Amino acid sequence: MYIIVENVLFVKFLMRKLSPHSIILILIVIVFFIAILTKDIRIEVAININPKSNQTVDLEKLENITWELYMSPDNSWSAFYGSLSQIKHSLKLQTYEFTEKNIKSKLKELLEQGVDIKVIMENYKYQQFKNTWKDIENYFTWYENFEIKSDKQMKTEYVHSKINLVDSWFRIQTANLTDSSFKKNREHFFYSENQAVWHSLNNIFDKDWNWEKISLSDIHPNLVVCNINCRNVIETLLKSAKKSILIQTQYIVDERILNILKKEIWTKDVRFIVSDTETNDKLLEYFWPAVSRKFDKYYNHTKMILVDEKILLLGSMNLSDNSLDNNREFGILIIDQELIKKYKKMFEIDREKSKY
């Protein structure tokens, strides 16, 4: 009892002698040391300080998700359009842009056949000249089995994702649903019937549709979802490289990604293919031609990262802070060696045709 009274008196003494700011500082230090000693508290503090510093991704847990990889404009249209005829029951789309007339007509046919279609689409695009979200809503307005939503309550800057969920298969792509995506751009598409990934994507889509919070436990180990595990997965992937990093993307402007790459170029085979735009002039100035080149045969809109010829990331995300931290984006990590060899061959052909 004496010890308790003595401690209370000591605390009252400190309260009189110390300023409120000093007391707050002492409390923060105490909490910090408790966090170090307690694992659960340490994780909670990390999440509260920086919501984007997600748990470390374990690249060893990746599964061999496989099926088909193809690119535009080579054979993408026939593969994409042909697959629409396979739809029997439902189609869920997340896309940034949707203007391709033939796809719109095909979806009308599907609606008339009783297929349920849901679309999550960006309604306030960057430098928007026309509200194509409204166009899509009006185009399908008479169909009760068609629904469209934006990202109004998803707490994202843009819905920049590009996924198709069809009955029991899915497609993750770098392409928007536009004519240029299939005829003028370099884009990549990954199609698979893997049920574990399909269920994860479907669950995430439904949560976005219902404006529910997505947790890390919702995300399959092979999936990359911005703005949840996206930055952490990509940074971990780049830092894990032992021999090589090959990147084919629209541009690289994120400072954290650039800093990682600046360190890696001295000890590894690091090479980029970017779009032929002024945005990438500084990139070419900093990284010599052996590293960075502009692809000008088609508009380079694809977003691909290949590390050590073992892990391939295909997704909708650009290497910018907005894409990684603020948008809804989807990507998938592929470890199938046949698909990786196929992409590596594509990369080397495009690289050879690129300028510096």
Of 4-13, 64-73, 161-170, 247-256, give the lowest mean pLDDT range.
Answer: 4-13
pLDDT the model gives residue 7: 43
Q: Is the dihedral of CA 202, 206, 209, 215 positive or negative?
A: negative
Strands 163-166 and 90-95, how do they pair? antiparallel
Task: Give bridge partners of residue 329 from the DSSP assignment.
Answer: 226
pLDDT of residue 87: 96
* Average pLDDT of the segment spanning 98-122: 97
Work out the pLDDT band at 20, boundaries 50, 70, 90: low
What gap in Å lies between CA 234 and CA 250, rounded to an integer? 16
Per the structure block, which two tokens stand in for 167?
A: 């009955």
Handedness of CA 284, 290, 291, 292 (dihedral sign): positive
Residue with tokens 């909670």: 44
Q: Give me 62's structure tokens.
A: 């990746």
**73-95 average pLDDT score:** 94
**Percentage above 90 pLDDT, the chain:** 75
Structure tokens at 284: 């070419």
Q: Tell me which CATH code domain 222-352 carries.
A: 3.30.870.10
Lookup: tokens for 208:
């976005």
Is the pLDDT confidence value at 248 over 90? yes
Cα end-to-end span (Å), the chain: 80
Per-residue burial over 45-80, b if 16 or more Cβ lie within 10 Å, else e, is beeeeeeeebeebebeebeebbeebbbbbeebbebb
Length of the chain measured in residues: 356
Superfamily of domain 68-209: Endonuclease Chain A (3.30.870.10)
Q: Which one-letter amino acid corresponds to residue 68?
A: E
Taking a C-beta distance cutoff of 8 angstroms, is the pair 327, 157 a contact?
A: yes
> Can you tell me the distance from the alpha carbon of 166 to that of 128, in angstroms, rounded to the nearest whole number?
29
pLDDT score for 75: 81
| Contact residues for 291 (Cβ-Cβ < 8 A; gap 6+) | 265, 270, 271, 272
Average pLDDT, the chain: 87
What are the start and end residues of each CATH 3.30.870.10 domain in the chain?
68-209, 222-352
β-bridge pairing 299-300 and 292-295: unpaired
DSSP structure class, residue 50: -
Q: pLDDT: is 173 or 32 the higher one?
A: 173
Please report where in the chains the tokens 């298969």 appear, as a residue. 169
Nearest to 162 by CA among 75, 92, 79: 92
pLDDT in tens, 301-320: 999 999 999 999 999 999 99
CB 66 within 8 A of CB 226: no
Band of pLDDT at residue 288, cut at 50, 70 and 90 = confident
- CB-CB contact of 128 with 150 (8 Å): no
pTM for the whole structure: 0.83
What is the predicted pLDDT for the residue at 26?
62
Residue (of 187, 166, 163, 183) closest to 175 by Cα position = 187
More confident residue, 5 or 96: 96
Predicted pLDDT at 57: 62
- Mapped to the 3 state alphabet, what secondary structure does 213-241 carry? CCCHHHCCCCEEEECCCHHHHHHHHHHCC
